[in-house]
């Protein structure tokens, strides 16, 4: 029989660790023996099988998804635009600086409360995920632009390469790792902050509201089942988005037919 | 129109690299600049390319359309040899012609793989084809055949000469043989 590879071994170890954690959880829940304090993983699994029957289940998922994804995309686009502007016009970098530092350092909870005064609760998660994403994307892209290759700039200058081609052949390949790392970090953060905003603002028809209700009614199995769903959607959407982004940015790397 | 350099001087801090240099490059000829390391050959090219400003002196007759083979290859590593050349050419320039030129300089095999997978010598030749095919009245070459073995260098040199007839080019090299193959004696300058 063939020996498992090191990668397979790693996966086996990880699966083992998950199984061990679940066992620990199961034993702890059985010991505590309180459905309010801690339910067993089996109870959560059972609830996951039936939770889709809850009224507005799919619409809640869709509501939260498009608000957080919308905020993420807005932060992504504006972060890139502002970084390009700040790189082109240095005084703008100074002008943007207090805004970006404030956004980064003010706690998310404070922003949520402030925004509750200014915005309708329905748009809260868009704005919060936008705020989480914007400074990270801006900073990463600006760093990438600043570390631009002088030699390649000179090459483009002497050959009078058009701005579009410069973008395609020089700038995008250079910025690719900066953008991908920023998106990898912010995609998960946007979900966490967006759902936190929904739990505090409780917009009707959102997953945050579902979590809030589960907590109110002390339905711990519902609370954990919704948490599992949020984590699953967050991970899936992050993977899909990064896959699409890599494809888009990597398109120019593909082989060209002579 | 000839390129006329008058009393050109350039210093980097305390170090005087060029001092009252006067030269004239005849139009349509290949010119070679030779000299020991640090004598200012590359600095002169960089001033002519517009990347450095001289401290004193004048330059007349520089054309607008220029191309270059830099000391480094300066290729877009993620793209194929064909794309690297096409990038500096007018839209619609036949890809088959680019491939033909790349083959003429001895690049056989897959021309569509990213140049990051190429050897140093292969990259050098892509850089030469890029400079030769680009629409330019003046070509700068800073040690263009560096890192090529003798046979490949001779092939690349022949390719360069046959494709740049009537164009003005300024080549920096350390190699006497290379200099003699590229330019007539009166067009070789020792700095």
ipTM of the modeled complex: 0.91
Burial class (CB in 10 A: 0-12, 13-18, 19+), B146: middle
The number of folded domains in chain B is 1
CATH class in words for A47-253: mainly alpha
The whole domain housing B75 covers: 3-190
Cβ of B78 within 8 Å of Cβ of A170? The answer is no
Are A179 and A245 within 8 A, CB to CB?
A: yes
Average pLDDT over residues A202-212: 90
**Cβ contacts (< 8 Å) between B87 and chain A: which residues?**
159, 161, 165, 169
The per-residue pLDDT for range B90-140, each reduced to its tens digit, is: 998 999 999 999 999 999 888 889 999 999 999 999 999 999 999 999 999
Q: What is the pLDDT of residue A72?
A: 96
**Is the per-residue pLDDT at A25 higher than 70?**
yes
CATH code, B14: 3.40.50.300
Residue B104 forms contact with A (CB below 8 Å): no
Q: Which of B72, B76, B103, B118 to mutate to test the interface with A (most CBs of A within 10 A)?
A: B76
Angle of helix A172-201 relative to helix A124-146, nearest 10 degrees, comes to 160
Question: Per-domain residue ranges for chain A?
Answer: 1-33, 47-253
Are B159 and B20 within 8 A, CB to CB?
A: no
Which residues are registered as beta bridge partners of B12? B15
The per-residue pLDDT for range B53-67, each reduced to its tens digit, is: 999 999 998 899 999
- Coil, strand or helix at A258: coil
């Amino acid at each position: 029989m063939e020996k498992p590879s090191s990668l397979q071994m790693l996966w086996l170890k990880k699966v083992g660790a998950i199984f061990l954690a679940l066992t620990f959880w199961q034993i702890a829940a059985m010991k505590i023996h309180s459905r309010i304090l801690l339910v067993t993983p089996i109870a959560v699994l059972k609830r996951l099988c039936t939770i889709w029957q809850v009224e507005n289940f799919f619409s809640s998922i869709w509501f939260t998804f498009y608000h957080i994804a919308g905020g993420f995309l807005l932060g992504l686009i504006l972060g890139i635009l502002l970084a390009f502007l700040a790189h082109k016009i240095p005084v703008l970098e100074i002008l943007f600086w207090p805004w970006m530092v404030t956004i980064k350092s003010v706690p998310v909870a404070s922003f949520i409360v402030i925004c509750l005064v200014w915005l309708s609760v329905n748009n809260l998660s868009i704005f919060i995920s936008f705020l989480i994403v914007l400074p990270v994307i801006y900073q990463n892209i600006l760093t990438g632009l600043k570390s631009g290759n002088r030699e390649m700039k000179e090459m483009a200058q002497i050959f009078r390469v058009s701005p579009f081609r410069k973008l395609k052949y020089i700038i995008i390949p250079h910025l690719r790792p900066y953008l991908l790392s920023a998106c990898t970090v912010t995609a998960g953060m946007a979900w966490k902050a967006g759902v936190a905003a929904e739990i505090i603002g409780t917009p009707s028809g959102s997953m945050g509201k579902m979590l809030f209700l589960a907590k109110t009614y002390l339905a711990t199995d519902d609370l954990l089942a919704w948490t599992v769903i949020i984590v699953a959607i967050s991970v899936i959407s992050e993977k899909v988005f990064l896959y699409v982004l890599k494809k888009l940015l990597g398109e120019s790397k593909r082989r060209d037919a002579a | 129109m000839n390129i006329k350099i008058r009393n050109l001087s350039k210093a980097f801090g305390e170090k005087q690299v060029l001092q009252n240099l006067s030269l004239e490059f005849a139009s349509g000829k290949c010119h070679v600049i030779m000299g020991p390391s640090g004598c200012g050959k590359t600095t002169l090219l960089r001033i002519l390319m517009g990347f450095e400003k001289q401290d004193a002196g004048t330059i007349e007759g520089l054309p607008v359309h220029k191309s270059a083979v830099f000391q480094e290859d300066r290729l877009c590593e993620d793209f194929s040899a064909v794309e690297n050349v096409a990038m500096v050419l007018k839209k619609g320039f036949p890809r088959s012609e680019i491939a033909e030129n790349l083959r003429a300089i001895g690049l056989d095999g897959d021309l569509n793989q990213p140049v990051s997978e190429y050897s140093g010598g292969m990259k050098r030749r892509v850089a030469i084809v890029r400079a030769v095919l680009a629409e330019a009245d003046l070509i700068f070459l800073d040690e263009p055949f560096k890192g090529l073995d003798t046979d490949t260098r001779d092939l690349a040199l022949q390719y360069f000469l046959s494709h740049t007839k009537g164009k003005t080019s300024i080549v920096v090299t350390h190699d006497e043989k290379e200099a003699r193959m590229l330019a007539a004696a009166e067009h070789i300058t020792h700095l």
